[in-house]
Amino acid sequence: MERLIGIDYGRKRTGLAASDPLGIFASALDTVPSAKIIDYLQKYAEKETITRFVVGYPMNLDGRPSEAAADVDAFLPRLRKAFPGVPVDLEDERFTSVLAHRAMIDGGMKYKDRRNKASVDRISAAIILQGYMDRKSKGL
C-alpha cells in the first residue's frame, strides 16, 4: 500500500509517521536513532510503498532556518540518495513539539509517559505529516 512518511529528524532521534493508504490521516509510527534512519526506512519500504517523504524543517519565529536546520540539511542528501525516486517535501515544524505535548495531555497520557522524548518525536512527525496533508487537500 502507498504511504507518505513524515520525518521529525533530530541529531540523536528521529520520529516517524505514516499516512493511511488514502493519504487522509497521519499516525505516529516509530522513533529510531538518527544514525539508523536510512536502514529503518529501507526495511519499511520492503513492506510498504513510500510515495513521498515530508521532512520537518526547523524554522525560527522570523521565518529563517534555525540552528537545527543544519542537521536536516545534512540528512536530506542521504535520504535522496537512498530513495532517488521518492519526492521529498519540507514542512515548517515550528511549534510541533508544543502541539505534541498538548496532544499527549489532551489524550490523557500520564506525566511520566509525556517526559519520554521518543513519544514527542513520533507525535511531532505525525503533526508535521498531517499538516502537510491538510494543506494539500485544501489546494494550498
Mutual orientation of helices 117-137 and 96-106 as an angle, nearest 10°? Answer: 110
pLDDT of residue 100: 56
Number of domains in the chain: 1
HSE-up of residue 122 (Cα within 13 Å, Cβ side): 14
Quick one: average pLDDT of 21-38? 94
**CA–CA gap between residue 16 and residue 7 (Å, rounded):** 5
Of 94, 109, 124, nearest to 26 by C-alpha is 124
DSSP element (H, E) containing 124 = helix 117-137
CB 39 within 8 A of CB 52: no
- Whichever domain contains 47, its CATH number is 3.30.420.140
Sign of the Cα torsion 74, 51, 129, 34 reads negative
Its pTM stands at 0.85
**CA–CA gap between residue 66 and residue 37 (Å, rounded):** 22
pLDDT of residue 38: 98
Q: Does 29 or 92 have the greater pLDDT score?
A: 29
Quick one: average pLDDT of 108-113? 62
Domain residues for 113?
Answer: 2-137
HSE-up of residue 91 (Cα within 13 Å, Cβ side): 28
**CA–CA gap between residue 79 and residue 5 (Å, rounded):** 12
Q: At residue 62, what is the residue type?
A: D
The answer, yes or no, to whether residue 37 has pLDDT greater than 60, is yes
CA distances to 5, 25, 66, 100, 111 from 87, rounded to whole Å, are 11, 19, 23, 26, 37
